[in-house]
Structure 1
Amino acid sequence: MAKISINLATGSLQKEDIIVGIDLGTTNSLVAFINPENHPQVINDAGKGVLVPSIIHLNPQNGESIVGNDAKAHLIEDPEHTIFSVKRLLGRSYKDIEHYQNFFSYKIVDDDNETLVKVKIEDKYYSPIELSAMILKELKARAEHALKTPVNRAVITVPAYFNDSQRQATRDAGKLAGLDVLRIVNEPTSASLAYGIGLNPEEERTIAVYDLGGGTFDISILKIQNGIFEVLATNGDTFLGGDDFDRAIIEFWIKRSGLTAEELKQYKEIRQVLRLKAEEAKKHLSFNEQYNNDVQGIDCSIDKSTFEELIKPKVDQTLSCCKNALADAGLKPENIDSIIMVGGSTRTPLVKNSVSTFFGKSVNDSLNPDEVVALGAAIQADILAGNRKDILLLDVTPLSLGVETMGGLMDVIIPRNSKVPTKAGRQYTTAVDGQVNMKISVYQGERDLVKDNRKLAEFDLKGIPAMPAGLPKVDINFLLNADGILTVQAVELRSGVKQQVEVKPTYGLTDAEVEQMLLDSVSHAKDDVAQRMVIEARTEGEQMLYTAERFIKNNAQFLSEEEQIHTIKLMEELKSILPEGSKDEILSKIDALNEYTRPFAERVMDVAISKAMKGKSIE
């Protein structure tokens, strides 16, 4: 194995290594690097274009994937096996996205619970982490082809509002793609760096970053002082973007055509063709007054004023978010020094003019809005590589810190390369009815299973009130101070029961050991993630059996004998496959049990509601 030179002060590589900046987008993704002239530059590999559509086509026969431009055509030919907007699913449960199920043309598994979503393609199950890793792998391959050198390290950007779970999912996707993710950077911070804001430590500015992409919108108010970026406020909508402009055009065309919902259902592929035509129309109307086309007899013409009328409510929605962000930051529009425009949808003239009017000054859009985040990520990568001595780089934690969860998995709470001092937390619950104690084991390291990491501390949170599984809410908070002292605190929110412990995370580890742990995490990434997914599926299966068993015991009177027998049969099938089954086999059995029993739960709920409402009149 080749030895990699790691700068332990920053947890990054020495400057001879190329570290790329990656913008992993909802609609498009791209990769950038610092060129020999010391300027950030996006990579256009083999003339395929700078933007890599965040689209994956999975061949149902052999499971092979096609990513990017080549996958785009399959949106029309094979929508059920073509994944788009996967960033919307990262780190989310089904409950987070159930209202948007119709937006996706592929099957999202409804577990009707809080577990993270999965995408089902034929008899295979994919997590958003695996799917995002496919996009990142394509970006990595393009960068290596263009730069003629291996690319193993990256900085990846995420929206400022991404929570811990979404950030960790992004890190995991990078790891699975064979990348050591040196830092997760907020997209607005990246965009600011691309414009040179924050590179001068003497400069003090307050800026607004208006980011309207294909699927998401966010506005961030940043204060930049002494080279440090502070997010004063962030607001936005994770389901608002250029896609909504496209949808408004589609709905306008459909309404005008008189096609019924039933007719449209039969022609799923027409909807995808219309989606691509609407995107074409939107871009055309940025520079022209009229767009003319048709799709299988549907008139697809629209003029600029009609388009602007259709999207005005959406643009106004973004301005409401701007207003809220300013209020949260305690600022007025005149306090903002500059407005940076990010995301392809900001090219729409109505957007640009509306934002300019709202803030009372011209917007800054001199850099390509599609590229600005990736360019900034490349600058951040250059800073981490130690090539920019003029920029303050705060101390970071060299290895991730986290706790053990069910199945012996490591759940990271403070990722490596986090600036210190820092604090982060996550909420957990009990797995068994009446559980009154919770063992909290703290680990340091980069591997997915705690047995491969280093144990730092262990303590018990005692006196949790006896409640059904899933009801107690336990907050576990990590506070890492500037001296590298870690305080771990656990609090049960309903009762206020509290316990904490103090540990020194770096005590006893040599530089060589830290370096070896980092190398091991990359070389074992694929196996680790595969193992993690089997353990997670197994844990989910055990929880499903526990829930189903309890349900039958408490509600047998509402089920027929045949229903009970078939449910028990499905439970036995799941139980028998748990010890040795693959991830897909286990998830398939969970899915079958879930699908069969869902109507029973609805039936019991209906009975409970009718009992509760008996003798009451509804006015």
Structure 2
Amino acid sequence: VADDGSLLVGEAARNQYALHPERSVRSIKRRMGEFTSVQMAGKDYSPQEISAMILRRLRDIAEAHLGEPVGKAVITVPAYFSDAQRQATREAGEIAGLEVVRIINEPTAAALAYESCHSGARKALVYDLGGGTFDVSVVNLESDVVEVLSSHGNNHLGGDDFDQKLISFATDHLRERHDIDVGQHPLAMARLQHAAEAAKIILSSEPYATLSEEYLLEKDGVPIHLSVEVSRNEYEEMIEPYIAETLDAVHIALSGAGLTVADINEILLVGGATRTPLVQRRLEQELGMQPRAEVDPDLCVAMGAAIQAAVIAGGQAPTVLIDVTPYTFGTSALEYFNGQMYPFCFVPLIRKNTPIPVSRSEGFCTIFDGQSKVDIHVYQGEDPDALNNIEIGRFTIEGLRDAPAGNPLVTTFSLDVNGILEVTSREKETGLVHSITIDNAISRFTGD
């Protein structure tokens, strides 16, 4: 609720949350189906009423875009939602003035979006990790029919929990540094939430992020500022137990469908939290195949709902078209390979089938004390041994500071829609930088 009493939804509400947490409600999806109320600006609301406000806003956006009234809706829910949660969702639609013609499972909707331009019978694992909920479904895809064979999940696990780990990291830092308990200050905690979410997003594509908030609060009349760096490695250690829990759910879902890993043809990623590199890496390790992520994970469920709505309305189901890179691009590093240290281990930065344009960064370290230069090799391919891939460029970053082994460098690969690949390497402490541009990276280099 804004200062003038008007209702804010989405990005505007999230921005307001950092200033007026008492006037805001977030993650209401987790409360659907509960006989409870939440408070916003001094008034009590049921979860259905809050959800109806969001649905009403979505309807208004649709009407403005279409130029005509919208009276019916297809609404998606986690496959793991109970009858009570589904009924609460239906009630929210009715409160919003919509006739809910269909409630469909999110994995079904996601599969519709992924499969709108494919054919043939397949079994897919839909891994849906959103902000507030997680579910995994095994689906059978055959001749325009998406059948959910089994589902498992947790309605209280998602990106919000990842944020909470970063918030705890920041509050521990402030307690050690300034001997202050931020948990006693709701406004400061709301700002920390904002900073944590921003850092989480950065860590999806960068090896380091800074949790930063100026004038977070005061202690004895002195302003307290927050500025603490967190590495992707530290962050991944924090959230690893959550990812392990999701992988347990994957195996339960497979067992429920009477299938093994070998029966699965593909993994479809859904939900913004699947952008976390650890999620994709662990799924690949566990299931032996690279997950598909070419449809925007934040939008694919909505796309699937739209396709379902188009079919119900008697229209032609639209095809989702996405530009993706057909190759993996990466560099090489000294790592363990077949049980021994090997200097040409392939480190992929941009995976094939990633939507373009895209930019990805990774942290590397020098291996000798006083190392003054590093050779950066750029490869295209899929083999774990970089020498079996195609080298498409190389450059040297010279003049590194005199530092012990472990001096960090950040290497960034940026690929645009025209297939131009720019590779940049920067010494983290000094900002010393060197780069190379490779034209036609997608079309020019082919090999066995």
Letter in 2 for 1:249: L
Deviation, 1:58, is 6.6
Selected match of 1:384 from 272, 296, 312: 312
Deviation at 1:261, TM superposition (A): 10
The one of 285, 302, 306 equivalent to 1:374 is: 302
Aligned with residue 130 of structure 1, among 43, 49, 57? 49
Shift of 1:292: 2.5
- Corresponding residue for 2:95? 176
Tell which deviates more after alignment, 211-220 or 290-299.
Answer: 290-299
Query: What displacement does 1:226 show?
Result: 4.9
State the shift of 1:372 in Å: 0.4
What SS does the corresponding residue of 1:279 show, helix, strand or coil?
helix
Instruction: State the 1:326 CA deviation.
Output: 1.1
What is the CA–CA distance in structure 2 between the aligned matches of 1:338 and 1:332, rounded to whole Å?
13
TM-superposed deviation, 1:182:
1.0
1:254 aligned onto 2:196: no
Distance 1:319 1:151, change over 3 A: same
Asked if 1:298 corresponds to 2:226, the answer is yes
Cα contact 1:212–1:241 (8 A) shared by 2: yes
Q: Based on CA coordinates, which of the two structures has the bigger radius of gyration?
A: 1
Displacement of 1:362: 1.2
Amino acid at match of 2:129: L
d(CA) in 2 for partners of 1:118, 1:383: 36
1:327 correspondence with 2:246: no
1:215 equivalent in structure 2: 132
Counterpart of 1:152, as a letter, is G
Amino acid in structure 2 at the alignment position of 1:207: A
> Which amino acid in the other structure matches residue 371 of structure 1?
L
In the TM superposition, what is the alpha-carbon distance from 1:121 to its structure 2 partner?
3.9
Aligned to 1:348: 276
Is this contact kept in 2: 1:193–1:199, CA < 8 A?
no
User: Closer, same or farther in 2 for the Cα pair 1:137/1:376, shift >3 Å?
Assistant: same
Deviates more, 1:116-125 or 1:338-347: 116-125
Shift of 1:306: 0.9
Cα distance in 2 between the residues matched to 1:158 and 1:389? 21
Render the CA deviation track for 1:387-425: whole Å, top value 9, x for unaligned.
2499xxxxxxxxxxxxxxxxxxxxxxxxxxxxxxxxxxx
Q: Deviations over 1:493-528 (max 9, x none)?
A: xxxxxxxxxxxxxxxxxxxxxxxxxxxxxxxxxxxx
* 1:275 counterpart = 2:176: no
Residue aligned with 1:188, SS:
helix
Counterpart check, 1:233 vs 2:175: no
Partner Cα separation in structure 2 for residue 371 and residue 389 of structure 1: 17
Q: 1:389 to 1:85 in 2, by over 3 A?
A: closer
Is contact 2:24–2:40 with CA below 8 Å preserved after alignment? no
Deviation at 1:223, TM superposition (A): 1.9
Q: Which runs of 5+ in 1 are unaligned?
A: 1-56, 93-115, 391-619
**Match for residue 461 of structure 1?**
none
Q: Which has the higher contact order (CA 8 A, sep 6+)?
A: 1
Deviations 1:138-175 (A, max 9, x none): 11111111222212221110111111221121111112
1:287 paired residue number: 205
Taking a change above 3 Å as real, the CA distance of residues 208 and 121 of structure 1, as seen in their structure-2 partners, is: same
Going from structure 1 to structure 2, the CA distance change for 1:281 and 1:262 (only over 3 Å counts) comes to closer
> Cα gap change, 1:195/1:230 in structure 2, threshold over 3 Å: closer, same or farther?
same
Residues 57-68 of structure 1 correspond to what in structure 2 (within 5 A)?
A: 57=1, 64-68=6-10
Q: Deviations over 1:34-75 (max 9, x none)?
A: xxxxxxxxxxxxxxxxxxxxxxx376x85x422122211221
Cross-structure match for 1:191: 110
Whole-angstrom distance in 1 between the partners of 2:241 and 2:67: 47
Q: CA 1:375 to 1:337, structure 2 compared with 1: closer, same or farther past 3 Å?
A: same
How far has the Cα of 1:129 moved from its partner? Answer: 1.0
Shift of residue 197, structure 1, vs aligned partner: 6.0
For 2:23, the aligned partner's letter is H
Tell me what 1:531 maps to: none
Letter of the aligned partner of 2:24 in structure 1? Answer: T
Say whether residues 1:117 and 2:30 are aligned partners: no
Report whether the alignment pairs 1:245 with 2:172.
no
CA distance in 2, matches of 1:86, 1:322: 25
Residues 163-220 of structure 1, C-alpha deviation per residue, up to 9 Å, x if partnerless?
Answer: 12211211111122121111001100000010126985xx322111000111111100
Distance 2:31 2:211 in 1: 33
Give the 3 Å change call, closer, same or farther, for CA 381–199 of structure 1 in structure 2: farther
- Residues 510-559 of structure 1 show CA distances to partners (whole Å, capped at 9, x for unaligned) of xxxxxxxxxxxxxxxxxxxxxxxxxxxxxxxxxxxxxxxxxxxxxxxxxx
SS of residue paired to 1:239? coil
Q: Which amino acid aligns with 1:161?
A: Y
SS in 1 for 2:90: helix
Task: Quote the Cα distance in structure 2 between the aligned partners of 1:248 and 1:293.
Answer: 12
* RMSD (CA atoms): 2.3
What corresponds to 1:70 in structure 2? 12
* Post-superposition CA distance 1:548-605 (Å, at most 9, x none): xxxxxxxxxxxxxxxxxxxxxxxxxxxxxxxxxxxxxxxxxxxxxxxxxxxxxxxxxx
Instruction: Give the C-alpha shift of residue 241 in structure 1.
Output: 0.8
Q: Quick one: which amino acid aligns to residue 184 of structure 2?
A: Q
| CA 1:122–1:382: 2 relative to 1, 3 Å | closer
Alignment of 1:537-548 (within 5 A): none
When residues 261 and 230 of structure 1 are mapped into structure 2, their CA distance, relative to the original with a 3 A threshold, is farther
CA distance in 2, matches of 1:245, 1:306: 12
Matched residues, number: 307
Does residue 1:318 correspond to 2:237, yes or no?
no
Letter paired with 1:286: S
CA contact (8 A) 2:59 2:70 kept: yes
In the alignment, is the contact (CA less than 8 A) between 1:198 and 1:227 conserved in 2? no
Structure 1 CA distance, aligned partners of 2:248 and 2:288?
15
2: CA distance between counterparts of 1:302 and 1:226?
A: 47
Matched residue SS, 2:296: coil
